[in-house]
Amino acid sequence: MTQDNHTAVASDTTRKLSWGMITQNGGVVALLVILLFNVLVTPNFLHPQTLFVNISQVATIAIVAVGMTLVIATGGIDLSVGAIMALAGAIAPLIFTSAFAEANPELGLALAIIVPIFVALLCGVFNGAMVSFLNVQPIVATLIFFISGRGIALVLTNGNLQTFSNPAFSYLGTGKILGFPFQGYLVIVIAVAVWWLMAYTVFGRQLLAVGGNERAAQLSGIPVKRVKIGAYVICAGLSGLAGLIVVAINSASDAARIGNLMELDAIAAAVVGGTLLQGGKAPIFGAILGAIIIQLVKYTLLANGVADEVALIAKAGIIILAVYVQQARKE
């Protein structure tokens, strides 16, 4: 009798544990399920080419998602990432196709990378300053660049598609090291660097404190405004870099299309990766995992002949499910 009871309790705990493990590691479980499904169903899924395509496509989402994670960790949101990508992506070709850059290729190339990222960082300073000094809600503050950033990019390029042939610059998007796409390594370097920043530096601790409880952080002497600006600046800088990669992949820059709807992908990746929208948590590798899941779902559906439109609906379902599980865990 007692034995039976004991077993019942034990099995109950196991069940709880396994359910808890699933909700705690929902992202990993989801990834495994998708991978298993693909291995069984999708033709040529295990072909190296599939891997390369997915890596080169997921890189931009992952890079922006890392930045978005920092902003969400402060309790904010950044809607302007796609527009900043477009802006950076429009400026780069303008620089390296100019007469000056043709005369000085090395300097031109350096400027074509430094200037767009610098402009992106300035956008981040603006976003951060709006949020921390004017106390504007992040969704409205970043709405300004969401609307006008792409406008500036379109005005600069006159709305034209800029095509170019510049192998050195294109290396950002098409280069390979040991057979793997260059931007894959870039993602790893960025993720490790930002993870280190969050885990081992004062800035990282302060950022989480601000997101956890802003008032308490303020009272304990944390420079809340500076920390918040820092998060928006990093996010904008990474968005600028992602914009350059998109342009490099295509050897063309279309300001109307670069980074379109990227804010949604990045937010979705961050949320699927376990970032709490209320702030106070910044799972960097979770965001990368989220980006991979989003990309793989898109790929799975497309590779199996499901229309692009339906893939959108699936993405919507994933977002709702991820947040619902997160919500349930909290309660």
**Does position 296 bind another protein by CB under 8 A?**
no
For position 143 contacting another protein by CB under 8 A, the verdict is: yes
* 264 makes contact with another protein (CB under 8 A): yes
125 contacts another protein (rule: CB under 8 A): no
Question: By rule CB under 8 A, what count of residues binds another protein?
Answer: 44
Strand 180-181 vs strand 176-177: parallel, antiparallel, or unpaired?
antiparallel
DSSP 62-94: HHHHHHHHHHHHTT---TTHHHHHHHHHHHHHH
Least separation in angstroms between residue 26's CB and another protein is: 15
Q: Which of 208, 267, 269, 288 is close enough to bind another protein by CB under 8 A? A: 267
Minimal distance, residue 138 CB to another protein, in Å: 10
* Residue 197 binds another protein (CB under 8 A): no
Give the CA dihedral 139, 144, 148, 152, nearest 10 degrees: -110
Q: Which is nearer to another protein, 166 or 300 (CB)?
A: 300
Smallest Cα–Cα separation from 211: which of 69, 70, 75, 76? 75
309 contributes a contact to another protein by CB under 8 A: yes
Number of CB atoms found within 10 A of residue 116's CB = 26
- Given 16, 43, 159, 219, the residue binding another protein (CB under 8 A): 159
By CB atoms closer than 10 A (0-12, 13-18, 19+), residue 165 is exposed
Q: What is the rounded CA–CA span in Å between residue 170 and residue 112?
A: 12
Q: Shortest distance, CB of residue 66 to another protein, whole angstroms? A: 19
Alpha-carbon 149 to chain mean position = 18
Asked whether position 218 contacts another protein by CB under 8 A, the answer is no
Window of 5-13, 98-106, 162-170, 306-314 that interacts with another protein by CB under 8 A: 306-314
Structure tokens belonging to residue 233: 């600046």
In the complex, the residues that contact another protein under the rule CB under 8 A are 77, 79, 130, 134-137, 139-141, 143-152, 154-155, 158-159, 264, 267-268, 271, 277, 307-313, 315-317, 319-320, 323-324, 327
